[in-house]
């Protein structure tokens, strides 16, 4: 196990506006949505849409890097399906995924192909938000199939791999506990009958064994970012905000067209 004192990196970008000698200079970041240029001393603004580059996919992710491993959180949105002739409903809920990534033995970079993931349901996300940082939580998922990185059934990667025989059940266990000075410790491990450090089913060579257990300690500010992400993601992974927006728009359209005349609420 390793105890981290990480520095923080996010997938978000921003522009900086330093001021020197009373003069402000704009330095837009490389991936900023808009860019400003000067033509005939007049500012002009170009957007992705005006350039025919409107992005159609987003990859929300937040990562804390440490000297021995990295801890990342990302969202997987729900799948939707048609409901009736003109409706939509949630086919499968989304989830929050934690990724524990060991650092390369050389110390340069991280072994992203060897990450260990833990997928959290919306109820587990709610438990996380309600209990931490005052109290700790422990979540365990039984591994019915092999594949411990991103390909196992527990991580939403399908049912590939070797099925576990009866009596050999191994659990992937996530423990999150409050620490000193408002810090919070995250730990991922494979356990059998309460004993950690187990080998998950599926790997066919020692080179593919996961680097567990892995630990990451988040300081107060870093954990607050995690907690905010978890809390604000609940309506999104439920599909609640999407279906509510569609239902509200339909209700407004129906009301404006006179479809609600005579109804009392």
Residues 217-245 have pLDDT tens digits of: 999 999 999 999 999 999 999 999 999 99
Per-residue model confidence (pLDDT) at position 203: 54
Segment among 1-5, 81-85, 202-206, 224-228 with least mean pLDDT: 1-5
Residue 261 near residue 254 (C-beta atoms within 8 A) = no
pLDDT band at 184 (very low <50, low <70, confident <90, very high): very high
The beta strands (E) that lie in 86-219 are given as 87-92, 95-102, 116-120, 137-142, 171-178, 184-191, 214-218
Q: Which of 148, 100, 139, 115 is nearest to 2 (CA)?
A: 100
Mean pLDDT, the chain, rounded, equals: 76
Helices (H) and strands (E) counted in the chain, each on its own, are 3, 15
Using the predicted structure, report yes or no on whether residue 145 has a pLDDT greater than 60: no
- State mean pLDDT over 259-263: 58
The stretch 85-98 carries a mean pLDDT of 95
Per-residue pLDDT band at 21 (split at 50, 70, 90): very low
pLDDT digits (tens, 9 = 90+) for 186-203: 999 999 888 888 877 765
Alpha helices in the chain (DSSP H): 122-131, 220-238, 240-256
Task: Please compute the mean of the pLDDT values over residues 96-116 and round it to a whole number.
Answer: 90
- pLDDT digits 0-9 by tens, 199-214: 777 655 455 666 788 9
Give the other-Cβ count within 10 Å of 156's Cβ. 15
Q: What pLDDT score does 251 carry? A: 92
Question: Over the stretch 151-182, which tens digit does the pLDDT of each residue have?
Answer: 334 444 433 333 334 456 889 999 999 999 99
Contact by Cβ (8 Å): 69, 2: yes
9 CA to centre of own chain: 14
For residue range 35-74, what is the model confidence (pLDDT) as tens digits? 344 445 555 555 655 556 778 888 899 999 987 889 999 9
Could you tell me the sign of the dihedral formed by the alpha carbons of 103, 186, 237, 133, in that order?
A: negative
Percent of the chain with pLDDT over 90: 46
> What pLDDT score does 48 carry?
58
């Amino acid at each position: 196990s390793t105890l981290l004192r990480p520095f923080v990196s996010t997938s978000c970008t921003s522009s900086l506006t330093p001021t020197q000698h009373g003069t402000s200079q704009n330095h837009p970041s490389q991936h900023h949505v808009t860019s400003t240029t000067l033509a005939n001393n007049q500012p002009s603004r170009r957007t992705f849409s005006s350039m025919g580059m409107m992005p159609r996919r987003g990859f929300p992710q937040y990562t804390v890097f440490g000297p021995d491993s990295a801890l990342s959180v990302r969202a997987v949105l729900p799948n939707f399906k048609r409901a009736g002739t003109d409706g939509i409903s949630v086919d499968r809920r989304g989830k929050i995924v934690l990724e524990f990534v060991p650092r390369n033995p050389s110390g340069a970079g991280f072994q992203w192909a060897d990450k260990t993931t833990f997928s959290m349901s919306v109820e587990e996300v709610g438990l996380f938000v309600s209990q931490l940082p005052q109290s700790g939580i422990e979540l365990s998922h039984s591994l019915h199939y092999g594949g411990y990185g991103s390909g196992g059934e527990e991580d939403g990667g399908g049912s590939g791999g070797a099925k576990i025989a009866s009596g050999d059940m191994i659990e992937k266990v996530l423990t999150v506990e409050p620490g000193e000075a408002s810090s919070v410790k995250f730990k991922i491990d494979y356990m059998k009958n309460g004993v950690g450090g187990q080998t998950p089913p599926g790997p066919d060579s020692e080179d593919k064994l996961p680097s567990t257990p892995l630990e990451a300690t988040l300081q107060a500010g870093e954990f607050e970012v995690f907690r905010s992400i978890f809390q604000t993601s609940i309506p999104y992974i439920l599909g609640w905000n999407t279906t509510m927006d569609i239902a509200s728009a339909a209700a407004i359209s129906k009301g404006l067209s006179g479809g609600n005349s005579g109804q009392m609420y």
